[in-house]
């Protein structure tokens, strides 16, 4: 069964209005001027990484492919545009039969990127490509920000389990996308059932403080949970007195208690005390899960603590202080006429300050040293040097309007693990720094 076929709120029948009005007004003007059919190349890139970050993570590519496929102007959407007088009738007629028939190349999902990396390249007529700007950027900017935060937390966790639990801290649909991006970035599970249903991400969850407070005593609450969920459940032990709760939990379950969760206090100190108490009570295999407003820095500070898993919410779904990647979608090349054989010419905005960009249809490759460690992001316009041909980064995603590169989410997750491992070791340092490798233009 494909969950998307059920028409659930996590899927949108049409993505056509996930756009800014000026995309449509540009289309109208281009149709009228006769330039709409000029062959064009747009690229997605960022001029800089968020302050202090050493690498970025590409996430949301699979969702972009879905959005491009579902970019349709049905009668209801066209009626809205007509009622608001947003575009004229010839433009509405053109939109009624809109289908993206171009090509898309991009960094595969889970790959890392750096300033200037051509993360996505969209090719086709100006008209069909310009309409996709906003929806593509909204997905990539959000999902890549969450995945980057998740990657930093995953590196800080050092192999310990990570649970995404931020659904209550963001928009309900953003929560589903966040759980997906977090999984790409290295998280192991989510508390959000919509994300589990839509993307087959493992889901976890047991109880909150409300369940303990509902009962006349903590013992009654624990007994009720164990009776329902079994001795391998996770008991929340910080509602009242932690030491007493741990003692009660082991009395009820014996050494088979699955885990205890700590959600408040000095987590480093409490975790050590709880571990010692559990071991003394014979529950040596019982795991310790900690939550409570964690971020990558808090996770790193608990490296020496006897913690088995971390649950992260707010800081994860807000990109740990950087909720966007500042990616842009720029026209970098176009033909002088609608003739399919007309050559592409590089174009670029001339701008003061940091908003300048490089025109031309680009390739990208990652040069590695003799040990296989990345040492430079190489970007060029002409022929790819022979020594970089096997290290090119862009792959074909859409060909002639047809998606050709769908893959399981686990493939993106595994790709990210490998891509991060191939970076210099300083990539996973949490201290602020410059991008871990430089960008070279050839």
The pLDDT value recorded for residue 349 is: 85
Q: What is the pLDDT of residues 334-386, one digit of tens each?
A: 999 999 899 999 999 887 666 667 899 999 999 999 999 999 999 999 899 99
Model confidence at 10, in pLDDT bands (50, 70, 90)?
very low
User: What whole-number percentage of the chain has pLDDT above 90?
Assistant: 93
Average pLDDT score over residue span 177-181: 98
For the beta carbon of residue 433, count every other beta carbon within 10 angstroms: 12
- Average per-residue pLDDT for the chain: 95
Q: What is the pLDDT of residues 218-254, one digit of tens each?
A: 999 999 999 999 999 999 999 999 999 999 999 999 9
**Higher-pLDDT residue of 315, 12:** 315
Model confidence at 14, in pLDDT bands (50, 70, 90)?
confident
Q: What is the pLDDT of residues 43-73, one digit of tens each?
A: 999 999 999 899 999 999 999 999 999 999 9
Model confidence at 8, in pLDDT bands (50, 70, 90)?
very low
Average pLDDT score over residue span 266-286: 98
Average pLDDT score over residue span 381-405: 96
User: What whole-number percentage of the chain has pLDDT above 70?
Assistant: 96
The pLDDT value recorded for residue 6 is: 47
Q: What is the pLDDT of residues 126-139, one digit of tens each?
A: 999 999 999 999 99
pLDDT at residue 270 is higher than 80: yes
């Amino acid at each position: 069964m494909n969950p998307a076929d059920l028409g659930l709120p996590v899927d949108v029948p049409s993505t056509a209005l996930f756009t800014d009005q000026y995309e449509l007004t540009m289309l109208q003007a281009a149709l009228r001027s006769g330039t709409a059919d000029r062959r064009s190349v747009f690229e997605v890139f960022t001029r800089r990484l968020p302050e202090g970050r050493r690498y970025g993570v590409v996430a949301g590519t699979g969702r972009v492919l879905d959005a491009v496929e579902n970019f349709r102007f049905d009668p209801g959407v066209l009626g809205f545009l007509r009622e608001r007088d947003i575009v004229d009738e010839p433009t509405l007629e053109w939109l009624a039969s809109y289908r993206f028939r171009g090509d898309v190349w991009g960094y595969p999902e889970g790959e890392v990127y750096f300033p200037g990396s051509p993360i996505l390249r969209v090719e086709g007529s100006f008209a069909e490509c310009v309409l996709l700007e906003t929806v593509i950027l909204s997905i990539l900017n959000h999902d890549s920000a969450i995945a980057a935060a998740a990657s930093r937390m995953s590196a800080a966790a050092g192999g310990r389990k990570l649970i995404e639990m931020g659904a209550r801290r963001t928009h309900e649909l953003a929560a589903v996308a966040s759980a997906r991006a977090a999984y790409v970035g290295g998280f192991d599970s989510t508390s959000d059932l919509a994300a589990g249903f839509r993307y087959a991400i493992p889901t976890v969850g047991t109880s909150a403080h409300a369940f303990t407070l509902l009962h006349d005593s903590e013992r009654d609450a624990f007994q009720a949970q164990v009776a329902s969920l079994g001795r391998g459940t996770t008991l929340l032990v910080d509602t009242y007195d932690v030491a007493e709760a741990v003692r009660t939990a082991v009395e009820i379950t014996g050494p088979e208690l699955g885990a205890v969760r700590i959600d408040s206090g000095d987590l480093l100190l409490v975790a050590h005390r709880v571990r010692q108490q559990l071991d003394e009570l014979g529950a040596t295999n019982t795991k310790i899960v900690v939550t409570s407003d964690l971020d990558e820095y808090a996770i790193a500070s608990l490296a020496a603590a006897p913690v088995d898993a971390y649950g992260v919410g707010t800081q994860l779904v807000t990109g740990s202080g950087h909720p966007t990647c500042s990616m842009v979608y720029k026209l970098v090349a176009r033909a002088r006429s609608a003739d399919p054989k007309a050559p592409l010419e590089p174009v670029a905005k001339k701008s003061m300050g940091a908003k300048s960009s490089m025109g031309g249809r680009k390739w990208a490759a990652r040069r590695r040293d003799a040990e296989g460690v990345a040492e430079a992001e190489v970007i060029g316009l002409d022929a790819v040097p022979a020594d970089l041909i096997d290290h090119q980064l862009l792959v074909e995603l859409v060909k002639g309007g047809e998606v050709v590169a769908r893959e399981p989410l686990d493939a993106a997750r595994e790709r990210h693990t490998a891509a991060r491992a191939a970076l210099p070791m300083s990539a996973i340092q949490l201290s602020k720094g410059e991008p871990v490798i430089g960008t070279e233009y050839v």
